[in-house]
Chains A and B, each alone.
Chain A
Amino acid sequence: MLFGGGLVVKVSGLTLARPGVKNIVLVEGVRTPFLLSGTTYANLMPHDLARAALQGLLNKTSLPKDAVDYIIYGIVIQEVKTSNVAREAALGAGFSDKIPAHTVTMACISSNQAMTSAVGLIAAGQCDAVVAGGAEFMSDVPIRHSRKMRKTMLALNRAKTLGQKLSLIGSIRMSHLSPELPAVAEFSTAETMGHSADRLAAAFGVSRLEQDEFALRSHTLAKKAQDDGLLEDVITFKVPGRDIVSKDNGIRPSSMEQMAKLKPAFVKPHGTVTAANSSFLTDGASAVLIMSEEKALAMGYKPKAYLRDFVYVSQDPKDQLLLGPTYSTPKVLERAGLSMSDIDVFEFHEAFAGQIMANLKAMDSDWFGQTYMGRKAKVGTPPMDKFNLWGGSLSLGHPFGATGCRLVTTVAHRLKKEGGQYGLVAACAAGGQGHAMVIEAYPQ
């Protein structure tokens, strides 16, 4: 062992490499532009977006189409026709049909799960090169017939005589026709996520002003990053039947005055979460190429970063739905033997400004740490000058299944750009779950 827990001194050359543990690297990461749902991608299907990301990855890496061992994709809202969206996208992107593919789902950390599954496969020696990614398509969601109607229709399939069929058709009433809409709501509590975020913000005493300020920060930083050409993971995508898109279209720096005019979106009229300080419904896909270091080097790639320790956490889906980062951050740091001050780059998933602020307050509270996390003291907060410096989900957009890869790729790019050594990704997800990963810069 090179070092013990917590005693890491930042010296160039010190790494989290461990004897007997394979070094796993991020070779490349790309994503389609993230677009507001209902805009240019409106007529596509989810696998089309995933396909675009995969093709973008192939182009960017010049990877031979049969050179990976496995493909994993994350998605949240499933299109019934392409329930294994990973396989459909891989075939459509021209990958060899000999490469198996599966789809995972874990709400907003679905593509994190895809990446860590890939890491697991490589660490276990099952694979050497895996493509992981995520996609989400909110312009079209499966709206179902009511349960009554479905029951009638299924019975109709089995009906043999015309009489049976007619009597089934005759049994259809108006109430059968009301459709079932999917909602961004917890199944266990039936609470929508925005509502929960508003309650979370209130529980931590996060004011509307703080939320609007954070949202404005996110948009401003994203705009700057976009203008400065820092978002190099974004590929250009010729949308069939439409134009070429090459930029995220949700970045809209506004003014505090403008934002203050908005009415609360979920808790009315006294809530604090508004459309402007929440992430918006987004279409988009992402993909990363993950390899063992040996394989990457053998194939002549220059890896971007090491993927090191990661954790998943989960807690009460009602009152702590979005506190994943608070729980996962100290846990992954402890695993890696790092402290908060060792981290140079933080990329947290911004579901809601109120959620980020609540997490920061939770991490800064001794009482919360002691009462709910069994710690001696507070977790401590990431310094804001290292935090989400190129914007975040609030401004860039948040295609549920695709965000994880964006976070990891951004950390790799920022480490390179800013010259840091360690980066940390943290995210919350529906179901009261959370994730964090430590990423180490690849030596230049």
Chain B
Amino acid sequence: MAGVRALGVLSRLSTRRYAANTSRTFSVAPAMLARTHVSYEVKDDVAVVRMNDPNSKVNTISIQMQNEMTEVMNELWANDAVKSAVLISSKPGCFIAGADINMIQACSSAEEVTKLSQEGQKMFELVEKSPKPIVAAINGSCLGGGLEFAIACQYRIATKSKKTVLGTPEVMLGLLPGAGGTQRLPKMVGLPNAFDMMLTGRNIRADKAKKMGLVHHLVDPLGPGLKSPEQRTMDYLEEVAIQFAKGIVDKKIPLQKDKGMMQKIQDYVMSFEFVRNQIYKTVHGKVMKQSKGLYPAPLKIIECVKTGVEQGPTAGYLAESQNFGQLAMTAESSALIGLYHGQVACKKNRFGSPAKEVKTLAILGAGLMGAGIAQVTVDKGVRTILKDTTVQGLARGEEQVYKGLNDKTKKKSITSFERDSILSNLCGQLDYKGFEKVDMVIEAVFEDIKIKHAVLKEVEAVVSPHCIFASNTSALPIKDIAAASKRPDKVIGMHYFSPVDKMQLLEIITTDQTSKDTTASAVAVGLKQGKVIIVVGDGPGFYTTRCLAPVLVEAVRVLQEGADPKKLDSLTTSFGFPVGAATLVDEVGIDVAVHVAEDLGKAFGSRFGGGNVDVLKTMVELGFKGRKSGKGWYVYEPGRKIKEVNPEIGEILENYRMKANPAVSSDSDVQYRLISRFVNEAVLCLQEGILNGPLEGDIGAVFGLGFPPCLGGPFRFLDSFGADKLVAKMQQFEAVYGNQFSPCQLLLDHAKDSSKKFHK
């Protein structure tokens, strides 16, 4: 069960259609074409401005949208019958999701992007200085440029709907809020909150936004009435916003809230330059620690905020637009945007909709993986059977599911009542009772082909013919498992990553015999569970485990050559991996690593050699199985944050000591030894047809294995780094270590012809 704990930015990327922000062309094109994106009507003396992109499910700030908005705003400002305005979206669940990324990607120079940013800044400045108050009525996502638009308005009202989220996710695309966000947010919510929002890019729910001062007023979503709840809620929001707009004009509703004592104290403290400097320093330090300086965007965000606060708005806005332009041209930004597009693509079911929806899912094995799968299934309204062979195992698994949900209750993302009613979908059992009604079985039992065959036969004896059998194996070829099946067309691999509720990736493995409908069904279940899905061909280690195995053995060799686990970790994390290689092996489990290394070593021969697997075996014999056993390369004690290297490891490594060759042992060499084996194996998977394309390869590597997101995945890394440069390095290593570093044919082809790119 290969898996890693994803940290940082990786776990936060999600597939909403967020976008960077800008707005183009404030100067109005005189074309008097009928407006399609923005319309307005005047109710009493309030202009209700409605946004509705006719070509998309969400509103984005596109050129069309901006032009029409500008036209409308100019008309309103010129219209004496209008005293105030309400800005609202006609789309359920979306205010403005951001600006169209394509608009930025279409630019070819930093100057061009800077100009986009400046036009956006200008437009929102006019909105901010509007003589007629504008109330932003927010229902649904209000992100990126959408939030920058909203905070330029005089007043903000948001619905308490679960779909209403506010945020500045630009940082996750390697960008910054470029239409005044870095300047307005600190003033609105204070430095600490503004940094938190912009540097993490996290979504803020409506109630939190109210507390932070990001919105002024909240409106409850309505239930069914004389219209659908969604429609009526939007109408209601509009009615309330109109009331407020009138109230603001009549001076009945103050735009500024009286500051509370805490706020006054905070403001006072913040008025000292040395306090602010301390904040910049702390935030900078934190960013450097987490990003290892590999991501330019967070640093630029700090710079923009600092410039604005310390040198005034003119300098601040200039810094914002210039840095925005520069960031848009960075390799990191294109890597992250590439991942975003990939993620969107991997959230679609290219196999069509399955003949039968999975309504009851059974999971065999209530271990960490099995219970994790149950955890992401029960809350999607799917009846979930969790079966184990022992009462203790089952109790542990059910407790894991309960704890996962209860943690959500504590964070107030669900109520305790919702928790209980979700849990009513879970049925823990020790036998196969009720399996005749099960639509899909996912086995997460011990990784042993005999046990897998045994449960497959047991399952097939009790389930109905339409039931799909999925194996959550990390390395055993699916066709070997399917060999014991009466209906191999219903057998498929579903490789989850641990911890299942945190890791976004699901690797689905199909054999030659797996039917298209089975695949469609597995993808549909995965999507329901909220997963990003890659569908790969069958073979030892499929795609992810196969890329991981050579890195593992190489890591062992590095340790045998004398590096200590902490050194190895720092080399890998400073390259951009969210988790160091030694920690990764501890997370995966030393015993699992042994299995993987041996199985794949047998399948692929000397190419998968490197470090001595006996090192790991010795560790397993001594009970050092990684985090789960409390000891691996490191010692794990509950409650202790700083982990120490396992003192008993030194002796083992001493027994298996290898002599490092100084020609290939510099820090940089070690990093490239690890990364090149990963990348070469990935390219080989593409060459052999295991992978459907480089996009899925990148997504799988980043979301499943923690390949540095700033590099965008092995294939994008090759495109930007240069296949020829990597091949040159590999050949240098090959001279010392042999065929483990032989570049595969496809990699050589790319090295020979620099015009060949994996991503167009």
- A residues touching B (Cβ–Cβ < 8 Å)? 187-190, 195, 199-200, 202-205, 267, 270, 316, 318-320, 358, 361-362, 365, 367-368, 371-372
Contacts and interface: CB of A to CB of B under 8 A. Distances in A.
Contacts of A267: 220
Contacts of B417: 187-189
The 9 closest A-B pairs by CB, nearest first: A319-B223, A203-B225, A188-B417, A203-B222, A204-B225, A270-B240, A203-B223, A365-B226, A202-B236
Nearest to B228: A371
Contacts of A318: 223
Q: Which of B219, B225, B226 has the most CB of A within 10 A?
A: B225
Contacts of A316: 223
A391 B361 CA distance: 55
A200 B415 CA distance: 21
A200 B223 contact: yes
A238 B232 CA distance: 51
A203 B229 contact: yes
B647 interface: no
A321 B417 CA distance: 16
Contacts of A203: 222-226, 229, 232, 236
14 contacts: A188-B417, A199-B220, A199-B222, A200-B225, A203-B222, A203-B224, A270-B240, A316-B223, A318-B223, A319-B223, A319-B224, A358-B225, A371-B224, A372-B224
Contact of A190 (B219, B240, B415): B415
B219 A270 contact: yes
B226 A361 contact: yes
Given A188-B415, A270-B219, 11 more contacts: A190-B415, A202-B222, A203-B222, A203-B223, A203-B224, A203-B225, A270-B244, A316-B223, A319-B229, A320-B223, A367-B227
A320 B415 contact: no
B243 interface: yes
Nearest to A190: B415
B223 A189 contact: no
A205 B223 contact: no
Contacts of B220: 195, 199, 267
A204 B226 contact: yes
B372 to A, nearest CB: 28
A58 B204 CA distance: 62
Contact of A319 (B219, B222, B244): B222
B223 A270 contact: no
A372 B223 CA distance: 11
A367 B415 CA distance: 31
Contacts of A202: 222, 225, 232, 236
Contacts of B227: 367
Interface string B487-520: 0000000000000000000000000000000000
Interface string B675-713: 000000000000000000000000000000000000000
B221 to A, nearest CB: 8
A250 to B, nearest CB: 29
A272 B123 CA distance: 37
Interface string B198-239: 000000000000000000000110111111110010001000
Contacts of B226: 203-205, 361, 365, 367-368
Contacts of B222: 199, 202-203, 319
Nearest to A364: B226
B418 to A, nearest CB: 9
Interface in B228-270: 228-229, 232, 236, 240, 243-244
A35 B243 CA distance: 37
A202 B225 CA distance: 8
A205 to B, nearest CB: 6
A196 to B, nearest CB: 9
B224 A199 contact: no
A186 to B, nearest CB: 9
Q: Which of A205, A365, A372 has the most CB of B within 10 A?
A: A205
A324 B249 CA distance: 41
A267 B236 CA distance: 13
A189 B415 contact: yes
Nearest to B415: A190
A390 B232 CA distance: 34
A373 B227 CA distance: 14
A406 to B, nearest CB: 29
Nearest to B229: A319
Contacts of B415: 188-190
Nearest to B253: A269
A199 B243 contact: no
A216 B229 CA distance: 30
A358 B226 CA distance: 10
A187 B219 CA distance: 21
Nearest to B243: A270
A43 to B, nearest CB: 37
A316 B227 CA distance: 17
Nearest to A195: B220
Q: Which of B220, B226, B417 has the most CB of A within 10 A?
A: B226
A368 B227 CA distance: 8
A368 B224 contact: yes
Contacts of A187: 417
B162 to A, nearest CB: 13
Interface string B584-623: 0000000000000000000000000000000000000000
